[in-house]
Amino acid sequence: MKIGIHAYAYCSQWSNESLDLINRIKDLGLDFIEIPLMVLEDFDVNAVSKRLSKVGLDVVTSTILDEKTDITSDKPEIRANGVEYLKSCTKATHDVGGTSLSGVIYSQHTKATRDRPTEQTWKFSAECLKEVAQYAKTLGVTIGLEPVNRYETYLINTCEQALKLIDMIDEDNMKIHLDTYHMNIEEKSFYESTKLAGDKLIHYHLCENDRGIPGTGLVDWDGIFKALAEINYRGYAALESFVDMTNNMNTWVWRQLALSGDVLIKEGATFIRIMQEKYGLIE
Question: Which residues are part of the catalytic machinery?
Answer: 146, 240
Helix (H) or strand (E) holding 138: helix 119-138
Q: How far apart are CA 147 and CA 92, in angstroms?
A: 23
CA 123 to chain centre: 23
> For residue 140, how many other CB atoms are within 10 A of its CB?
11
Amino acid at 107: S
Confirm if 128 and 83 have CB atoms less than 8 A apart. yes
Q: How far apart are CA 169 and CA 149, in angstroms?
A: 22
Three-state DSSP class for residue 125: helix
CA 126 to chain centre: 19
Residues sharing a CB contact under 8 Å with residue 230, sequence separation 6 or more, in sequence order: 195
Tell me how far CA of residue 184 lies from CA of 41, 148, 187, 209, 272, in angstroms. 34, 10, 6, 6, 18
Q: How far apart are CA 190 and CA 192, in angstroms?
A: 6
Torsion angle, alpha carbons of 174, 180, 185, 190, to 10: 90
Three-state DSSP class for residue 81: helix
Amino acid at 157: N
